[in-house]
Amino acid sequence: MSVSTITPLRALAGHGVEAHPSSGARRAAPARPPSGPTRSPLVLHTQSGEVLMLDRARWHAPTNPEERALLSSVTGPVIDLGCGPGRLVVSLADEGVEVLGIDSSPSAVALARRRGAAVLQGDVFGPIPGQGRWATCLLFDGTIGIGGDPSRLLRRCWELTGPGGRVIAEVEVPGTGWRRHTAWFEGEGGRTPAFGWAVVGADAIAEVARPAGFALTTLIQTPSGRWFADLEAPARPSKPLRLA
């Protein structure tokens, strides 16, 4: 597979973010657990027996320097799917970028709004304002797994952005491939109902993105070992987005 490195991400090298012109990725934390004030461990279990520990502290924390370096390349308006407590939304808004977060969890949305984030509670596959006029979709912290079908989720991103749109998706380590799970979270509050989930590695992201209309342009590795895929759709004239 041939993948070109785009200029905006090459420019991130001074921020400690490395762009790769070929396939690769790290184990990303699963996304969007139940929210709460505690920071006790939360575990994602899968029907196949795989167990993943969630970094809840990062989920609640402000964006870190390497995340802000990645976000500095983003063009607005931006929609953050599975935004959780809104840390990416707040970070982008602080830089003057028009941004909206979407999350299905009432408690996560409440936390985000307390931070001052512009967020809506709802299903990412449901009605979302501005469809076809967003410039960039964000899928950080494992949200590429939402619904258990990454091609369907990326197709939803294409519907939201249209041709010319961009997705920055966190992916997992090289060699992971991709697989679908039935999963649930366990923590001090008990066990959640089971839901569809997917794990996508950098070696598989181009494959799952292609049916959705996106091409992999760059893989990015951060100093902490996280991996991100930069996906783009064929260009089209931009339309102004108005949330009002």
- pLDDT for 41 equals 59
- The whole model's pTM is what? 0.79
Interatomic CA distance for residues 77 and 209, integer angstroms? 21
Amino acid identity of 130?
A: G
The answer on pLDDT for 27 being more than 70 is no
What CATH homologous superfamily does 7-232 map to?
A: Vaccinia Virus protein VP39 (3.40.50.150)
Which of 76, 232, 241 lies closest to 166 in space, CA to CA? Answer: 232
* Confidence at residue 164, expressed as pLDDT on a 0 to 100 scale: 93
Contact 130, 103 (CB under 8 A): no
Please say whether the beta carbons of 15 and 73 come within 8 A: no
pLDDT in the model for residue 11: 29
% of the chain at pLDDT higher than 90: 58
Please write the tens of the pLDDT for every residue from 203-244.
999 999 999 999 999 999 999 999 999 999 987 544 445 544
Q: What is the DSSP string of the chain?
A: ---PPPHHHHGGGGGT-EEESS-----PPP------S----EEEEETTS-EEEE-HHHHHSPPPHHHHHHHTTPPSSEEEET-TT-HHHHHHHHTT--EEEEES-HHHHHHHHHTT--EEES-TTS--TTTT--SEEEE-TTGGGGGG-HHHHHHHHHHHH-TT-EEEEEEB-TT--EEEEEEEEEETTEEPPPEEEEEEBTTTHHHHHGGGT-EEEEEEE-TTS-EEEEEE------------
What integer is the mean pLDDT of 41-67?
Answer: 83
Q: Is residue 163's pLDDT more than 70?
A: yes
pLDDT per residue as tens digits for the range 65-124:
999 999 999 999 999 999 999 999 999 999 999 999 999 999 999 999 999 999 999 999
